[in-house]
Structure 1
Amino acid sequence: MAVTNVVVIGRRWYISLLLFINYLFHKTKLCTGLTTALLLSEDSSYSISVIAKHMPGDYDIEYASPWAGANYMPVSITGTPAQSWERDTWPALENLARNQPEAGVQFQDLKILNRKKDGDTVTAKWFAGLLSDKPWWSTVFPNYCQIPNTQLKEGVDSGHAMTSVCINTAIYLPWLVGECLKRGVVFKRAELEHIKDASTSHHSGEKPGIIVNCTGLGSLTLKGVCDLKLHPARGQIVLVRNESNGMTATSGTDDGPDEAMYVMCRPAGGGTILGGCYQRDNWDSQPDPNLAIRIMQRCVAAHPELTGGRTIEALDVIRHGVGLRPARDGGARVEKELIEDTWVIHNYGHGGAGYQCSYGCAKAVVELLDAHNYDKPRL
């Protein structure tokens, strides 16, 4: 969960950016909060504190960012705010893949496969923007093309191929922390019950005048916010040592309307993520062994190189993972609100798109904060 607070003292802005993680999964809020802190720290007039319940290196059902693949695979619909967030995020990830290999971001081939019969399933609706016949992101990716019908497997009606990026989250999240530390950001662990608790959080002891809330699913129960539009979208993955050739995602499966098939090989020896599912309102934190078997079977069928043509028994499993995506009816909330006597900028509810929206949403937060502070008298 993240909160940012600002007060004006002298000619220096004091900011407390708290990352208080409640329930997070696949591509979610620690990434969003850390990226927000990173972009805010580019302004040397800001003094920033980051407070988090969980930090990179922790493994917990409440902290799902390490379980993410992660990758850049746009799911937003044309004309929505999420489209601009995803579009604004690509240049930053592309730059990291090109120029900063230590960040754990790497170019990889990506294939998106669409089956018309999946049109009304939960998975296809989740991937809606990804499955468009004329996707807005076709001009974003290098090497984009539609896959010729002659190259599609039986049962697949259309497909897209492109060069995207895959992120080793075990490397990337600590890298984000390191970049923030180099810019003077202060980190400490804490857990908040009320959004206004952030008002006493800054390491300077100053009372901040604005809070940036990146609490993910935590905003469902965080006092002062309690956003009932939030709900969990449970995901389950299998992390294996076997390596795939590139990344693949399909519009659905024959195993159930909320089950998915996606494969991504993390760079720098991070293992391969096999997924998955999108189970709305399911809070179960334990892996379903039967679902795990179906996931592995689907992924091996799509990527036989994982096992050299053998069965799933040839998979070298590192661990099974479960987490809760912070989904929100109506989409992510990125806006300013007055709660009692405190201004709050919200940045949460991105579902499974936290990484691929991270820089775009952080940019939006910076713009909201700049507009809030514009022409404010400086003591």
Structure 2
Amino acid sequence: MSSKKIVVIGAGVAGLTSALLLARKGYDVTIVAKFAPGDYDIEYTSPWAGANWMSFVKNNQQLAKYDEITYCVFQKLVKEFPEAGLWPRRCITYVREKDLAKQSDLLGGLLDAKPWFADTVENFTELDKSQIPSGYVQGIAYDSFCINVQIYLPWLQSQCFAAGITLKLYTLKHIKEACNLHSSGEPADLIVNCTGLMASKLGGVMDPKVYPGRGQTVLVRNHAPAMYNDSGTDDADDELTYIMSRPGGGSILGGCYQKGNWNPTVDPNMADRIVKRALKLCPGLERDFPLDIVRHNVGLRPGREGGPRVELETISEVGKVVHNYGAGGAGYQSSYGMAEHVVQLVDLAFA
């Protein structure tokens, strides 16, 4: 197996995690990417994420399995690698009565009084009325994780380097170019495509189902006592309210999920709405000092109609390709589950 040469395209969370698990399985892996940890570009989606584990899967066993596997890995990472930028945090969701009726596509299973992951996460609790703020009719709380991606992505890259993986910076126009970019100088035996949003533009792939899910957030120095989100807002159907208290201090306030919107520019009016909603949801943000804004962020989640694509394909002039893209807002919380599926498909390709 060790002689099999694999090129992984992409150095976001999907590409790095897939490459790492493949190398640990004994494959000879080279990562080829336009961007790498430390870079910031609207096309490079991973550095802009919040990020946390908050599964919104509903009635999809495969996606639930991805999230379950990743939750278990995160539990291990928190204990064994405190330098990785993951932090255990309580996650609290409040639901409005009007949102129960419409069953939001964005929040899916989080609107259930007992979502699929109730038996997976630690210390799951259905909140009673005394624990639910005015304006809400239902709530859950459970032990979860928040990720500081500015720490986690470089750490994940360092794990790849320690596993013997080589990284090449290169802008691909067609997936077939990757075949000749393995660090050995020999042709790759298989390509793993983790190009995220760029799967819609990469020659040989050009997936028309891929779309951006624009997100806008506000990073503040104030530290929330937990992670919070609620079921909806009266501002707009594509706007959300969530708070992620980060490892190392500060909190991320969000947000929105604007499907098909490629605009990288901060909307100041939306920023004001985000701040207003966050302070209403968690007045304790200003417990120690008035809200102190670090910066405003815009990122594009790599969504895909019908859900993520994790499958084996044979492409003319390329050969065997395993795809892993389209996770949308679940890129981090499903990363290890999707990468394990990639390893299974690679093993199958060489069986």
Q: TM-score range by the shorter chain?
A: over 0.9
Asked if the contact 1:73/1:356 (under 8 Å) is kept, the reply is yes
Give the drift of 1:116: 2.9
Give the drift of 1:47: 1.4
Deviation sequence 1:181-208 (CA, Å, 0-9, x none): 1111011211111111111110111111
Matched, 1:86 2:86: no
Aligned CA distance change for structure 1 residues 130 and 236 (closer, same or farther; 3 Å): same
Partner of 2:284: 305
Give the drift of 1:309: 8.6
Cα distance in structure 2, aligned partners of 1:34 and 1:309 = 38
Partner of 1:294: 273
Trace 1:1-379 onto structure 2 (pairs within 5 A): 12-19=3-10, 30-44=12-26, 46-119=27-100, 124-269=104-249, 271-308=250-287, 314-341=290-317, 342-374=319-351
Aligned CA distance change for structure 1 residues 309 and 119 (closer, same or farther; 3 Å): farther
Deviation sequence 1:19-69 (CA, Å, 0-9, x none): 16xxxxxxxxx111111111111123x211111111111222122322212
What is the DSSP-based 3-state SS (H/G/I as helix, E as strand, rest coil) of the residue aligned with 1:173? helix
Give the drift of 1:254: 1.5
Amino acid in the other structure paired with 2:66: W
Cα distance in structure 2, aligned partners of 1:199 and 1:99 = 36
Moved more, 143-152 or 351-360: 143-152
Give the drift of 1:119: 4.6
Cα distance in structure 1, aligned partners of 2:189 and 2:89 = 43
Asked if the contact 1:109/1:246 (under 8 Å) is kept, the reply is yes
Deviation sequence 1:201-259 (CA, Å, 0-9, x none): 10111111221111111111111111111111110000111111110011111211111
Cα distance in structure 1, aligned partners of 2:212 and 2:99 = 22
Aligned CA distance change for structure 1 residues 174 and 65 (closer, same or farther; 3 Å): same
Cα distance in structure 2, aligned partners of 1:186 and 1:209 = 16
What is the DSSP-based 3-state SS (H/G/I as helix, E as strand, rest coil) of the residue aligned with 1:12? coil
Give the drift of 1:120: 7.0
Moved more, 94-103 or 285-294: 94-103
What is the DSSP-based 3-state SS (H/G/I as helix, E as strand, rest coil) of the residue aligned with 2:24? coil
Cα distance in structure 2, aligned partners of 1:205 and 1:136 = 47
Asked if the contact 2:146/2:246 (under 8 Å) is kept, the reply is yes
Asked if the contact 1:121/1:258 (under 8 Å) is kept, the reply is no
Structure 2 gap segments, 5+ residues each: none
Deviation sequence 1:148-197 (CA, Å, 0-9, x none): 02221222121110110111111111110111111110112111111111
Cα distance in structure 2, aligned partners of 1:79 and 1:307 = 39
**RMSD between superposed Cα atoms in Å:** 1.6
What is the DSSP-based 3-state SS (H/G/I as helix, E as strand, rest coil) of the residue aligned with 1:355? coil
Cα distance in structure 2, aligned partners of 1:292 and 1:121 = 26
Give the drift of 1:78: 3.0
Aligned CA distance change for structure 1 residues 309 and 101 (closer, same or farther; 3 Å): closer
Aligned CA distance change for structure 1 residues 293 and 309 (closer, same or farther; 3 Å): farther
What is the DSSP-based 3-state SS (H/G/I as helix, E as strand, rest coil) of the residue aligned with 1:87? helix
Deviation sequence 1:320-343 (CA, Å, 0-9, x none): 110111111110011111111411
Structure 1 gap segments, 5+ residues each: 1-7, 21-29, 375-379
Give the drift of 1:121: 6.5
Cα distance in structure 2, aligned partners of 1:240 and 1:64 = 20
Cα distance in structure 2, aligned partners of 1:121 and 1:225 = 35
When normalised by structure 1's length, the TM-score is 0.89
Asked if the contact 1:236/1:322 (under 8 Å) is kept, the reply is yes
Asked if the contact 2:100/2:111 (under 8 Å) is kept, the reply is no
When normalised by structure 2's length, the TM-score is 0.96
Asked if the contact 1:77/1:129 (under 8 Å) is kept, the reply is yes
Amino acid in the other structure paired with 2:19: A
Give the drift of 1:134: 2.6
Cα distance in structure 1, aligned partners of 2:322 and 2:3 = 20
